[in-house]
């Protein structure tokens, strides 16, 4: 029997001082929800789902309600969940009427022979399986309308067609994620995001793509990433990191190596959590701050680390 362990993150970016308390509070609530599942003998996938659902419901994070807005002022959400025992995965991209996309990802994992649904097809799958749709405006909050307005007034959008990043890579990445190990020795991971500020409608980032922003395999490790999605996708960085663990690196060594590789190869910025099959942990980021939490028996830690 393994020692159940939960490691979650609430984004890696240039988090202003004024946002720290809200992030700590959100991480604390998510940690409690996920740990409650593991503590009563629940599965790693259930713990991941519980923790991420809390962060999606918390407007402090770029996931669920309160996410960054697309260029046309809407919320479009991406999420992935992966089960390290079976390698079953469920992913959704560009959903606009789902309050908790991680729950839809779980539904895909459990109920579909397919792995990934996007847009209206994903929403139809949700409704066919009993999920109630919301209105997109239920996910949009005034803080984000102002943020988008200010960014567009500052000319942020003008850079899109030049190939330059739409948002400064440090400004806007508080994607959420979780990794868990349950008492049966199974790993799971999940990642959920509203993506980047002022993204073009239809853009999908790294978070919901297998091996990019999320991966779990009992034979290597579980991981969830946050940060500037395009470089992470190009490097398939989640799989890159867990392969290092399979090759003998500790999760901490793999996490540090992944972030170093991200920056050296493509100038990318972000953060990563990694959990090994024995519950050993790794976390690294090259952004100014990263929010995280750890729970296991007799251990409960919350942090906003600084570079
Ligand atoms: N990492 C979140 C995104 O780029 O969409």
pLDDT score for 212: 98
pLDDT score for 2: 81
User: Which residue ranges in the chain fall short of pLDDT 50?
Assistant: 158-167, 169
Burial call 161-195: b when 16+ CB within 10 Å, e when fewer = eeeebbbbbbbbbbbbbbbbbbeebbbbbbbbbbb
Say if ligand 1 is within 6 A of residue 76 CB: no
Phi, psi of 46 (to 5 degrees): -65, -40
Beta carbons within 8 Å of 104's beta carbon, 6+ residues apart = 79, 90, 92, 95, 98, 122, 125, 126, 131
Distance CA 37, CA 182 (A): 9
Q: Tell me, in angstroms, the distance from the centre of ligand 1 to residue 240's CA.
A: 17
Say if ligand 1 is within 6 A of residue 271 CB: no
Contact 262, 285 (CB under 8 A): no
pLDDT score for 161: 37
Contact 185, 38 (CB under 8 A): no
Distance CA 123, CA 236 (A): 27
Nearest alpha-carbon partner for 172 in 306, 37, 70: 70
Which atom of ligand 1 approaches the CA of 229 most closely?
A: 4
pLDDT score for 154: 87
Q: Tell me, in angstroms, the distance from the centre of ligand 1 to residue 206's CA.
A: 5
Distance CA 5, CA 187 (A): 10
pLDDT score for 139: 98
Say if ligand 1 is within 6 A of residue 175 CB: yes
Distance CA 280, CA 298 (A): 15
Q: Tell me, in angstroms, the distance from the centre of ligand 1 to residue 207's CA.
A: 6
Say if ligand 1 is within 6 A of residue 193 CB: yes
Q: Tell me, in angstroms, the distance from the centre of ligand 1 to residue 198's CA.
A: 12
Burial call 68-106: b when 16+ CB within 10 Å, e when fewer = bbbbebebbbbbbbbbbbeebbbbbbbbbbbbbbbbbbb
List the domain range (segments joined by +) for residue 31: 5-306
Six-digit token pair at 262?
A: 């991200």
pLDDT score for 45: 98
Six-digit token pair at 288?
A: 């100014």
Beta carbons within 8 Å of 66's beta carbon, 6+ residues apart = 58, 59, 60, 139, 141, 143, 144, 194
Altogether, the residues listed in the chain come to a count of 307
Enumerate the active-site residues: 175
pLDDT score for 174: 83
Q: Looking at residue 217, which CATH number applies to its domain?
A: 3.60.20.30
Say if ligand 1 is within 6 A of residue 229 CB: yes
Overall number of domains in the chain: 1
pLDDT score for 160: 41
Q: Tokens 């949009």 correspond to what residue?
A: 140
Give how far Cα 159 sits from Cα of 58, 154, 156, 168, Å: 30, 11, 6, 11
pLDDT score for 38: 98
Which atom of ligand 1 approaches the CA of 226 most closely?
A: 1
Six-digit token pair at 113?
A: 């022979």
Q: Tokens 């996920």 correspond to what residue?
A: 34
């Amino acid at each position: 029997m393994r020692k159940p362990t939960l490691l979650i993150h609430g984004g890696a970016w240039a988090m202003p001082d004024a946002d720290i308390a809200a992030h700590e509070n959100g991480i604390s609530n998510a940690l409690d929800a996920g740990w409650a599942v593991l503590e009563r003998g629940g599965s790693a996938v259930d713990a991941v789902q519980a923790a991420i659902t809390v962060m999606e419901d918390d407007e402090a994070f770029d996931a669920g309600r309160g996410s960054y807005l697309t260029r046309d002022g809407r919320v479009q959400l991406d999420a992935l969940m992966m089960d390290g025992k079976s390698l079953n995965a469920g992913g959704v991209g560009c959903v606009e009427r789902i309050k908790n996309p991680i729950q839809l990802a779980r539904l895909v994992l459990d109920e579909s022979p397919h792995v990934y649904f996007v847009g209206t097809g994903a929403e139809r799958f949700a409704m066919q399986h009993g999920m109630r749709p919301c209105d997109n405006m239920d996910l949009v909050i005034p803080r984000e309308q102002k943020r988008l307005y200010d960014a567009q007034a500052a000319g942020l959008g003008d850079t899109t067609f030049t190939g330059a990043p739409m948002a400064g890579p440090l400004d806007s990445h508080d994607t959420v994620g979780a990794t868990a190990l349950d008492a049966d020795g199974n790993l799971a991971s999940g990642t959920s995001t509203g993506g980047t500020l002022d993204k073009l409608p239809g853009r999908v980032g790294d978070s919901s793509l297998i091996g990019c922003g999320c991966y779990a395999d009992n034979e290597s490790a579980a991981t969830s990433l946050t940060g500037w999605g395009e470089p992470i996708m190009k490097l398939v960085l989640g799989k890159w990191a867990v392969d290092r663990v399979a090759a003998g690196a500790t999760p901490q060594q793999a996490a540090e190596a992944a972030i170093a590789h991200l920056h050296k190869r493509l100038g990318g910025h972000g953060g990563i959590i990694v959990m090994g099959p024995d519950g050993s942990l790794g976390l690294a980021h090259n952004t100014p701050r990263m929010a995280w939490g750890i729970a296991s028996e007799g251990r409960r830690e919350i942090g906003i680390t600084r570079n």
